[in-house]
Amino acid sequence: MNSDRYYSTKAQKMESSKIREISKIIAERDIISLAGGMPSPSSFPIEIVSELSEQLLKEKGAEALQYGTTTGYRKLKEVIARRLNENFDMSVNGENILVTSGAQQALYLVGKVFVERDDEVVVEAPTYASMLQILQELGGDVSDIELEKDGFAVDKFKKYLENGGNPKLSYFVPTFQNPSGITTSLRKRQKLVDLAEAHDFLIVEDDPYHQLRYSGGSVPPIYSVDDNNRTIYVGTLSKLLAPGLRVGWIAARQEFIDKLQLAKQPVDLCTNVFSQHLAYRYLKGDIVDRQIEKIKNLYRAKRDHMLDALQEFLPEKVDWTSPKGGMFIWLTLPEDIDAEEMFQDALDEGVAYVPGSIFYANSPKKNTLRLNFTFVDEKEITEGVKRLGRLIEEIIDRS
Ligand SMILES: Cc1ncc(COP(=O)(O)O)c(C=O)c1O
């Protein structure tokens, strides 16, 4: 059967996420994976989830197992709004929140509502690869703005706008970015907000890592410095509780939420109601705060361990970022080393990473790669970085 003829044009153009393919290869072999973007299994509060689930089933079992409203469980929306106001000085209420099946669905819905074929969208270079997958599916015309040590190159963005760039939407992961670990400075956030107002475009702020800060002072979300309400804020419990529960949210002006919930209705009717009730119980008191402290201590040690290992085992010609939070470190190899070509050799050495090229909308920097420090234990971090260092050194010696 020629199945191609049955597929929609959209389906014919779909491509698998490279990270998902890499994960499959790794799972089949005995390899230290610094590739994935997964939390540490020891960060999951299994006992707490077990107790909360038991309470929930006893007290509100029928409600938690029933369909829910598309915008989300009212009490959860209210507690999310309260936390955003308390933690980030936002001024939102439950009506400004749409609960989603993870941040990923939030991004997809934003794409569906705002991006039409050939619409101009600006992203960082590099950026979150799964957002690129969404924009590719929707046929957006994606331009990218280089990332500097203190965030995206706002002056280049300004020039691009002055030279006729006319985006409808811009997308940023401004805090402990996936993949680079870079945090955009407050000054640049403020400039971005001014540019958005002057040139009439929207800002999508994807912020899954904000509360995972291991050092340095906090920087407010773009949403909090945007008095014009042009920012659509995306949050998630994936890194603060567990990704398997699939609870995320959008905070935005109410008219956007109304439209986004219309886009969600045919997708899944509602987010997993049981997970939403659990999330509410997790967020309403201080359980979440105590858990965040635990996760931060766990990941701070892992980050420090990886930074020390990079210092010890990588050749001098390699540069890397020193993130103050999040889950990733970004490596820049000498210009002539292609991390994609090196990937197979790395697997043969028993270590995996994500080649940086997949994180670029245009003109990939092939000598870059992403390392994750949260999933593996400290022994594996040392051994994985050692193997990587040995391989890079061999390649430099050969050339
Ligand atoms: C920047 C970014 N956005 C969105 C997501 C998706 O998160 P969720 O598990 O909430 O769908 C991730 C997950 O790694 C991410 O790094």
Tens digit of each residue's pLDDT (9 = 90 or more) over 7-54: 988 888 887 777 777 777 777 778 999 998 999 999 999 999 999 999
SS (H, E, C) the chain: CCHHHHCCHHHHCCCCCHHHHHHHHHHHCCCEECCCCCCCHHHCCHHHHHHHHHHHHHHHHHHHCCCCCCCCCHHHHHHHHHHHHHHHCCCCCHHHEEEECHHHHHHHHHHHHHCCCCCEEEEEECCCHHHHHHHHHHCCEEEEEEEECCEECHHHHHHHHHCCCCCCEEEECCCCCCCCCCCCCHHHHHHHHHHHHHHCCEEEEECCCCCCECCCCCCCCHHHHCCCCCEEEEEECCCCCCHHHCCEEEECCHHHHHHHHHHHHHHHCCCCHHHHHHHHHHHHCCHHHHHHHHHHHHHHHHHHHHHHHHHHHCCCCCEECCCCECCEEEEECCCCCCHHHHHHHHHHHCEECEEHHHHCCCCCCCCEEEEECCCCCHHHHHHHHHHHHHHHHHHHHHC
pLDDT of residue 11: 87
* CATH fold for domain 64-287: Aspartate Aminotransferase; domain 2 (3.40.640)
* Closest approach atom of ligand 1 to CA 104: 11
How many angstroms is it from 388 CA to the middle of ligand 1? 26
Give the residue, by CA position, lying nearest to ligand 1 atom 16. 178
Please identify, by atom number, the ligand 1 atom nearest to the C-alpha of residue 236.
Answer: 10
Q: Which atom of ligand 1 is the closest one to the Cα of 105?
A: 11
Q: State residue 25's pLDDT score.
A: 76
- For 380-394, the pLDDT digits (tens) are 999 999 999 999 999
pTM of the complete model: 0.96
pLDDT given at position 35 = 94
Instruction: Tell which one of 99, 104, 132 to mutate to probe ligand 1, the residue whose CB is within 8 A of the most ligand atoms.
Output: 104
Residue 394: per-residue pLDDT: 96
pLDDT tens for residues 115-143? 999 999 999 999 999 999 999 999 999 99
Nearest-atom number in ligand 1 for the CA of 101 is 11
What is the whole-number distance in angstroms between the Cα of residue 236 and the centre of ligand 1? 8
- For the 3-45+289-398 domain, the top CATH level (class) is alpha beta
Ligand 1 pocket residues where CB is under 6 Å? 37, 102-104, 128, 173, 178, 206, 208, 236, 238, 243, 248
What digits encode the pLDDT tens for the residues 142-161?
Answer: 999 999 999 999 999 999 99
Residue extents of the structural domains in the chain: 3-45+289-398, 64-287
